[in-house]
Amino acid sequence: MSRVEEDPRAATRRRRRYQLGALVVAIGLSGAVLAAVLTSGSTSELRPGRPVPGAARALALLRGIPQIAATLGDQRAPVTLVEFADLQCPACATFSEDALPRIISRYVRSGRVRVILHALDTIGHDSERAARVAYAIGEQDRLFQFVALMYANQGSENTSYVTDLYLRALAGAIPGVDVGRALAARNGAGPSRELAQARALASRFHVSVTPSFLLYRTGSQPRRFSPGSLDAGSFAAAIERLLRGGSA
């Protein structure tokens, strides 16, 4: 067979190689684009002065409920629920967005349960940055609004998304918060003390994962509570037992 007769087949093979190479490149590019979209999330769109996703819901849920530092609800409530959380933790966000609103609406608003939050930094540097600002905003008695907005706009763990721009956007969406004051105070004595106390309590109660909980009659010995799941029903059943004078 002559070279002239081989050319059509060779040309076909070359076209197929080019097509295959182009397909591989296209798949690689689309994968990279998809990965970028998935990792960027909505956090890159947060800017001070712009609407913050989840703000209306969080503000409505907490409106009118007393807060002092990291405690939500009546200080004299008969039952205390303590949560150890990391603000980067996806499971903590699930609890905060699914179960906690029902607990707040049913038990905290009625004065039967108070909630105490200990923000930890178990996952990474972003966790500490977020916790410090949460505690600083707690000095203005708005910690739970900030935490709710953090969870509603949570990024991927340890991707350095907890920037000052991000923190300013969240804090600025909370009425009554002096954003400049909060950011200036985050490395001060108050937030540092709160974070140290949270770490010490977590160590005392052998907390190794977040979220973890204590649930007990106010004024009694704090006790670990391990719910069967993070749904509101698991907590409601234990709270009802405590309200009746039993144990969780």
The pLDDT tens digits of the residues spanning 14-31 come to: 444 444 344 333 334 344
The pLDDT tens digits of the residues spanning 148-160 come to: 999 999 999 999 9
The pLDDT tens digits of the residues spanning 95-123 come to: 999 999 999 999 999 999 999 999 999 99
Cβ 130 vs Cβ 194: under 8 Å = no
Amino acid 138: pLDDT:
99
Q: How far, in Å, CA of 83 to CA of 244, rounded?
A: 22
The pLDDT tens digits of the residues spanning 70-86 come to: 999 999 999 999 999 99
Stated pTM of the model: 0.82
